Amino acid sequence: MTKPDHITSISIDLETFSDVDIKKSGVYKYADSPKFEILLFSYSIDGSDVEVIDLAQGETLPSWLIGAIVSTDVIKWAFNATFERICLSKYIRTHYPNAFTGYGAPDDTTNTFLSPISWRCSMVWSAYLGLPLSLEGVGAVLGLEQQKMKEGKALIKYFCTPCAPTKTNGGRTRNMYFHDKEKWDTFKKYNIRDVEVEQAIQKKLSRFPVPASIWKEYHKDQEINDRGILLDMTLVKNAIDFDALSKDALISALKDKTKLDNPNSVLQMRDWLEANGIETDTLDKKAIADLIKTVPSDVADVLKLRQQLAKSSVKKYQAMENAACSDMRARGMFQFYGANRTGRWAGRLIQLQNLPQNHMDDLRQARELVRLGDYEALTMLYDDIPDTLSQLIRTAFIARPGYMFYVADFAAIEARVIAAIAKETWRQKAFRDGLDIYCASASKMFNCPVEKHGINSHLRQKGKIAELALGYGGSVGALKAMGAIDMGHSEEELQPLVDAWREANPNIVTLWWDVDSAVKNAVKMHSSTETHGIIFTWRSGMLFITLPSGRKLTYIKPRIGENKFGGESVTYEGIGATKKWERLESYGPKFVENIVQAVSRDLLMNAMMNLPGAFICGHIHDELLIECTEDTPLTEICAAMAKNPSWFPDILLRADGYITPFYKKD
């Protein structure tokens, strides 16, 4: 390990040990464990041959390498670079404290981590180009000569996680390098191979580099993940205990009413229903809700208890317990470019994107009872404990002492984006005038004034369901999927509703099919086309859609196929609903959906960049969660969010917000 004269970049891969389950808890808690250690450190300097440092056997990182890791001038590459950066933050902070420097303001919670500014992630590069999010998956799709070694999973299980004590292994709880020298030698080769594969990916993708603007966004994302969100662990632990007490009480009540040994059993419950003259093929959420409306009251009471029993709110609290680091902050909840068709984030660990909503008027009171551990009072005041605990999930996220949560979100962001791209002027006027879009839509569809709590208010629901279901080419099926029949709409009125919405929005309908033609022409002619300010380019077997921001969406190996109706469609390769790499089909309205959601994502990113000094802790769809001192004007936060980017000057943005000590839906 001779010191190089000059270092521009380092490719890194680590093998590590921790007693924390990384799948349940994430890398931040994994590396936060006192038992965490780095076993192997493989690296390549500026593309040179890969070397491995065997830390487990007492080898050490040379001082020049430590200096390169902490330097913001040397670029560090890794596949899923968050893992390497967080693990090395802990390692250097522990073993080389004089060399370690955190980042961020002195009162920020990012200062225990190495700055992400000099880190690059080849997983993000892969995602940007529409490729899989795993090293193995990318290697397979790209047909790399060097592939990830298949022995890896077994070796990681052997050396990197605790093992069960047995007579055979002498009762040990961990496998060390000296327990199997042959496996250890293979493990070192595996560690080296991962760097080689990562380098091969870089080489293969070098013709399509990630723009500097995307790396800036990645660094902002890493800062938000590093900061984390504080959890009220008293509330979390009591909620888990209360859920267990509630389930015991519900099972006892169900046993009493049904005389079943296990009323939680689907088979036993179906037999009981059949004995009471009720047949059903399923006991899923919707089926039970439908049955409750029609069955006798005594049977309905049983089904209502089963509904409560099926509530899975405790899983979120358990996820919080799993993710909480030693400072009680949950980190690593946002996967940058997790949805690679649009570039949107994907949720991880606690999954903030699908938290239950809260509708209780006395949310604060219920919250305090759980915090106090007063289960008796809670059961006296609230009939449905699982539902109460479910509505309190958001409130487990709290601002740290001396701060408040400023929650700000865009109003009807996708509706505003599609209106601006399609130049649907009546919609733009409605947004400019501050009108309710559901009322405005119903008014346009039915040619009469509609007010939320006034004239023709009954039509607002039709406007709402049409807006939610029909913007991306949806028809009768989309209305049904949105629950139109359950809301009281008849089958006969659905097609007229589709026709009325499309007639009211001719420019959006035109946008669908203009995009459809532009995509097909680009793919057929291997050329570049444009419509509505969006550019569609075929290049080197890929379709690129250039958004107003300049960011590109990527579709791999596009070609013209035939849809189920016998017409033309565009197909491409990507990760499908089965999580497998397969050929997918798309068409104009679906591409428009991708474009609108991608532009909405870019606007949220622009809002984050407009708040450079803000302690952004999280984001949920079109909403930002920010820790602020109480002297911060909320109007400034909302104004910064709603500031138009230079690349989309005509968009009519509006952001609304509220201040709260704990997270909730206002």
Task: Tell me the average pLDDT across 324-336.
Answer: 97
**pLDDT for position 383:** 87
Edge-to-edge strands, sheet with 397-398: 329-330, 229-231, 397-398
- Indicate the range of 87-91, 168-172, 309-313, 465-469 predicted with least confidence: 309-313
Residue 514 contacts residue 595 (beta carbons within 8 Å): no
Task: Tell me the average pLDDT across 28-39.
Answer: 98
Task: Tell me the average pLDDT across 370-379.
Answer: 96
**pLDDT for position 264:** 83
Residue 349 contacts residue 397 (beta carbons within 8 Å): no
pLDDT(312) > 80: no
What is the rounded distance in angstroms from the CA atom of residue 615 to the CA atom of residue 109? 9
Q: In 509-614, at which residue ranges do the beta strands (DSSP E only) sit?
A: 528-531, 534-539, 542-546, 552-562, 568-575, 581-586
Kindly calculate the radius of gyration of the chain based on its CA atoms and give it in whole angstroms.
Answer: 28
Nearest-CA neighbor of 220 among 138, 128, 104?
A: 104
**pLDDT for position 293:** 85
In the Cβ-directed half-sphere of 38, how many Cα atoms lie within 13 Å?
Answer: 27
Instruction: Give whichever of 186-195, 258-267, 573-582 has the largest mean pLDDT.
Output: 186-195
Structure tokens at 108: 């920020």
Instruction: Taking the CA atoms of 626, 632, 634 and 640 in sequence, report the sign of the dihedral they define.
Output: negative
Instruction: Taking the CA atoms of 406, 412, 418 and 423 in sequence, report the sign of the dihedral they define.
Output: negative
Residue 10 contacts residue 69 (beta carbons within 8 Å): yes
**pLDDT for position 202:** 93
Q: What is the pLDDT of residues 479-530, one digit of tens each?
A: 988 888 877 788 888 999 899 999 999 999 999 999 999 999 999 999 999 9
Task: Tell me the average pLDDT across 604-618.
Answer: 96
Residue 370 contacts residue 378 (beta carbons within 8 Å): yes
Nearest-CA neighbor of 88 among 59, 115, 51?
A: 115
CA–CA distances in Å: residue 570 to residues 99, 475, 506, 555: 53, 20, 24, 10
Task: Tell me the average pLDDT across 288-306.
Answer: 85
pLDDT(531) > 90: yes
pLDDT(590) > 80: yes
- Indicate the range of 207-221, 270-284, 607-621, 650-664 predicted with least confidence: 270-284
pLDDT(311) > 80: no
pLDDT(21) > 90: yes
Q: What is the pLDDT of residues 228-263, one digit of tens each?
A: 999 999 999 999 999 999 888 888 888 888 888 888
Complete domains list, the chain, with CATH: 9-210 (3.30.420.10), 233-398 (no CATH), 404-412+600-660 (3.30.70.370), 425-504 (no CATH)
**What b-and-e string marks burial along 156-183, b requiring 16 or more CB atoms within 10 Å of the CB?**
eebbbeeeeeeeeeeeeebbebeeeeeb
**pLDDT for position 188:** 97
Other beta carbons within 10 angstroms of residue 374's beta carbon come to 15
CA–CA distances in Å: residue 360 to residues 389, 390, 391, 432, 590: 11, 11, 8, 32, 37
How does residue 462 score in pLDDT terms, banded at 50, 70 and 90? confident
DSSP code of 399?
P
What is the rounded distance in angstroms from the CA atom of residue 519 to the CA atom of residue 559? 10
Nearest-CA neighbor of 88 among 122, 125, 53?
A: 53
What is the rounded distance in angstroms from the CA atom of residue 211 to the CA atom of residue 343? 14
φ, ψ of residue 213 in degrees (nearest 5):
-65, -35
Indicate whether this model's pTM tops 0.85. Answer: yes
**pLDDT for position 533:** 96
Provide the H-helix boundaries in 206-296.
Answer: 212-227, 233-258, 266-275, 285-294
φ, ψ of residue 88 in degrees (nearest 5):
-70, -30
Nearest-CA neighbor of 430 among 463, 457, 477?
A: 463
Q: What is the pLDDT of residues 91-148, one digit of tens each?
A: 999 999 999 999 999 999 999 999 999 999 999 999 999 999 888 888 888 888 777 7
47: which residues sit within 8 A by CB, 6+ positions away? 11, 199
What is the rounded distance in angstroms from the CA atom of residue 485 to the CA atom of residue 628? 44
Mean pLDDT across the chain: 93
Q: What is the pLDDT of residues 615-637, one digit of tens each?
A: 999 999 899 999 999 899 999 99
Task: Tell me the average pLDDT across 642-654.
Answer: 95
**pLDDT for position 300:** 84
Share of the chain above pLDDT 90, in %: 75
- Indicate the range of 137-146, 169-178, 208-217, 501-510 predicted with least confidence: 137-146
**What is the total residue count of the chain?**
666
φ, ψ of residue 431 in degrees (nearest 5):
-70, -40
How does residue 550 score in pLDDT terms, banded at 50, 70 and 90? very high
Nearest-CA neighbor of 408 among 654, 148, 56, 157?
A: 654
How does residue 310 score in pLDDT terms, banded at 50, 70 and 90? confident
